[in-house]
């Protein structure tokens, strides 16, 4: 009876969609299925939102439904879904994704948000996203959509055809660590923002120094909490801290944990170089550089601490130092998670085996 009720919830959510919109979405799906060169994600695709229900598309059933976050696990279990690709990882959906992973369903996340619609306006040359590629090579598929192609309903369908290199599997270890990482990043930004504001006053008053001390203490507390949860989820990471000679610096360890967590050990470190926005010279083609500001900042600050230099004063050769740091962390993570020793994370290794290619 319970699963029958869940099935009815799915049907009701489908009815809430405008029937014309639903028919148009299924029409888009059928057009895309005719393009043989497109990859296809085998499983459900989910377009998440912070304040609205998620949009779920199950290609095998030609089903598209709006599902509240708290009902998502029940819904996909009722539909027999074993793999899920989501468009974004947010603090608001991390909890439900962790439940889905723990239920035995594979969860993948889009690692390049621009993979659907691109990120530059009025660009020329190579298409920057799936929609750009379709407009260039199969414009008939998008006839009748105009700007409406960015609707949530259509995004859930388009996700099915994103290239595998723009997605990665995630585990419960990653999710629980990721939430603490967001809290550390928030504390770090708040601390830096306060410093920037107080610098405008020149000499600090006693009250201002107290405010700065409180912000610094909060930053250290969040760094400690983040490092502790990463250490719990990835036993053996202390070896990396020792290898980088940062075992006594909690902020450096937090930056290192950020880089460690964001790296996809299944891929070449050169893809991480792209995320860090590293170029060896100004003439290098940046076609594939997809700089992630948070990742780049963490690598930059960690490298400065590892080598004991000021990145603003040591521009010459600093990118090479960043690359050396990145490769060392990537190599360590591969050994830790893809090896057979007791330090390997079962969740991450399982995700690699099930989803590797």
Burial zone of 55 (CB within 10 Å; 0-12 exposed, 13-18 middle, 19+ buried):
buried
Average pLDDT, integer, range 163-190: 95
Read off the pLDDT band of 33 (50, 70, 90).
very high
Encoded tokens for 295:
């990742």
Are residues 246 and 214 part of one domain?
Answer: no
Domain hosting residue 207, numbered range: 176-226
Residue 92 belongs to a domain? yes
pLDDT of residue 293: 82
Residue 349 belongs to a domain? no
Strand 167-170 and strand 54-58: the pairing is: unpaired
Cα 153 to Cα 46, 176, 275: the distances in Å are 10, 29, 29
pLDDT of residue 338: 81
Q: What is the pTM of this model?
A: 0.82
Q: Which phi and psi angles does 66 have, rounded to 5°?
A: -90, 130
pLDDT of residue 314: 64
Instruction: Please answer whether residues 168 and 333 qualify as being in contact, where contact means their C-beta atoms are separated by less than 8 angstroms.
Output: no
User: Mean pLDDT of all residues in the chain?
Assistant: 83
Are residues 241 and 221 part of one domain?
Answer: no
**Residue 168 to residue 348: CA distance in whole angstroms:** 11
Average pLDDT, integer, range 160-183: 94
Question: Which of 52-61, 182-191, 265-274 comes out lowest in average pLDDT?
Answer: 265-274
Are residues 210 and 117 part of one domain?
Answer: no
Residue 350 belongs to a domain? no
pLDDT of residue 4: 30
The tally of domains found in the chain comes to 3
Residue 353 belongs to a domain? no
Are residues 272 and 253 part of one domain?
Answer: yes
pLDDT of residue 150: 61
3-state class (DSSP) for residue 78: helix
pLDDT of residue 170: 94
pLDDT of residue 154: 87
Secondary structure, 3-state, 148-200: HHHCHHHHHHHHHHCCHHHEEEECHHHHHHHHHHHHHHHHHHHHHHHHHHHHC
Are residues 102 and 6 part of one domain?
Answer: yes
**Residue 281 to residue 319: CA distance in whole angstroms:** 10
How confident is the model over 208-233, as pLDDT tens digits?
A: 889 999 999 999 999 999 999 999 99
Read off the pLDDT band of 46 (50, 70, 90).
very high
Instruction: Please answer whether residues 250 and 220 qualify as being in contact, where contact means their C-beta atoms are separated by less than 8 angstroms.
Output: yes
**Number of Cβ within a 10 Å radius of residue 327:** 14
Strand 63-67 and strand 54-58: the pairing is: antiparallel
**Those residues with Cβ within 8 angstroms of residue 150's Cβ, 6 or more apart along the chain or in another chain:** 117
**Residue 247 to residue 276: CA distance in whole angstroms:** 24
Is pLDDT of 257 > 90? Answer: yes
Position with higher pLDDT, 128 vs 355 = 128
Edge-to-edge strand list for the sheet holding 167-170: 63-67, 54-58, 44-47, 83-86, 106-110, 167-170
Are residues 48 and 191 part of one domain?
Answer: no
Encoded tokens for 102:
């723990």
Position with higher pLDDT, 139 vs 348 = 139
Is pLDDT of 85 > 50? Answer: yes
Are residues 191 and 309 part of one domain?
Answer: no
Q: Which phi and psi angles does 112 have, rounded to 5°?
A: -130, 95
CA atoms within 13 A on the CB side of 36: 0
**Residue 326 to residue 269: CA distance in whole angstroms:** 7
CA Rg, the chain, in Å?
Answer: 23
Task: Point out which residues pair with 58 in neighbouring strands.
Answer: 44, 63
Question: Which of 102-111, 149-158, 171-180 comes out lowest in average pLDDT?
Answer: 149-158
Average pLDDT, integer, range 321-345: 80
Is pLDDT of 331 > 50? Answer: yes
H/E stretch holding 46 reads strand 44-47
Is pLDDT of 8 > 50? Answer: no
Residue 241 belongs to a domain? yes
Instruction: Of 258-262, 272-276, 318-322, 337-341, give the range with the top mean pLDDT.
Output: 258-262
Are residues 17 and 131 part of one domain?
Answer: yes
Is pLDDT of 263 > 80? Answer: yes
How confident is the model over 335-347, as pLDDT tens digits?
A: 999 874 434 444 4
Is pLDDT of 334 > 80? Answer: yes
**Residue 296 to residue 278: CA distance in whole angstroms:** 9
pLDDT of residue 142: 86
Instruction: Please answer whether residues 74 and 58 qualify as being in contact, where contact means their C-beta atoms are separated by less than 8 angstroms.
Output: no
Average pLDDT, integer, range 243-261: 97
Is pLDDT of 63 > 90? Answer: yes
Are residues 184 and 87 part of one domain?
Answer: no
**Residue 63 to residue 79: CA distance in whole angstroms:** 10
pLDDT of residue 189: 95
Are residues 165 and 23 part of one domain?
Answer: yes
Average pLDDT, integer, range 149-164: 85
**Residue 299 to residue 255: CA distance in whole angstroms:** 7
Question: Which of 41-50, 88-97, 244-253, 289-298 comes out lowest in average pLDDT?
Answer: 289-298
Using the Cα atoms of residue 87, residue 183, residue 350 and residue 76 in order, give the sign of their dihedral: negative
Buried b / exposed e across 221-234, counting CB within 10 Å, b at 16+?
ebbeebbebbbebb
Instruction: Please answer whether residues 240 and 227 qualify as being in contact, where contact means their C-beta atoms are separated by less than 8 angstroms.
Output: no
Are residues 186 and 262 part of one domain?
Answer: no
Is pLDDT of 273 > 90? Answer: no
Is pLDDT of 276 > 60? Answer: yes
């Amino acid at each position: 009876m319970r699963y029958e009720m869940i099935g009815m919830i799915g049907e009701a959510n489908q009815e809430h969609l405008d029937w014309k919109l639903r028919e148009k979405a299924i029409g888009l799906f059928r057009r895309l299925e005719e393009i043989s060169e497109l990859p296809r994600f085998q499983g459900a695709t989910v377009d998440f939102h912070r304040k609205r229900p998620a949009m779920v598309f199950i290609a095998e059933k030609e089903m598209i439904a709006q599902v509240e976050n708290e009902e998502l696990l029940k819904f996909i279990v009722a539909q027999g879904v074993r793999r899920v690709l989501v468009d974004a990882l947010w603090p608001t959906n991390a909890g439900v994704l962790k439940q889905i992973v723990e239920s035995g369903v594979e969860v993948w996340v889009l690692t390049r948000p621009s993979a659907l619609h691109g990120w530059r306006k009025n660009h020329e040359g190579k298409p920057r996203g799936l929609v750009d590629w379709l407009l260039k090579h199969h414009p008939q598929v998008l006839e009748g959509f105009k700007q409406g192609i960015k609707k949530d309903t259509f995004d859930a369908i388009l996700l099915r055809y994103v290239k595998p290199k723009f997605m990665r599997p995630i585990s419960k270890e990653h999710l629980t660590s990721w939430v603490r990482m967001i809290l550390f990043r928030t504390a770090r930004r708040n601390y830096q923002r306060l410093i920037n504001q107080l610098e405008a006053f020149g000499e600090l008053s006693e009250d201002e120094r107290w405010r700065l001390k409180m912000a610094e203490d909060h930053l250290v507390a969040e760094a400690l909490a983040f490092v502790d949860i990463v250490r719990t989820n990835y036993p053996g990471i202390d070896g990396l801290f020792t290898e980088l000679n940062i075992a006594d610096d909690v902020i450096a360890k937090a930056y290192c944990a950020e880089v460690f967590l964001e790296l996809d050990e299944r891929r070449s470190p050169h893809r991480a170089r792209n995320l860090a926005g590293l170029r060896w010279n100004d003439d290098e083609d940046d076609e594939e550089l997809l700089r992630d500001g948070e990742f780049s900042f963490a690598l930059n600050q960690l490298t400065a601490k590892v080598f004991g230099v000021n990145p603003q004063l040591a521009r010459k050769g600093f990118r090479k130092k960043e690359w050396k740091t990145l490769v060392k962390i990537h190599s360590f993570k591969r050994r830790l998670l893809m090896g057979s020793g007791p330090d390997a994370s079962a969740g991450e290794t399982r995700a690699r085996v099930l989803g590797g290619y």
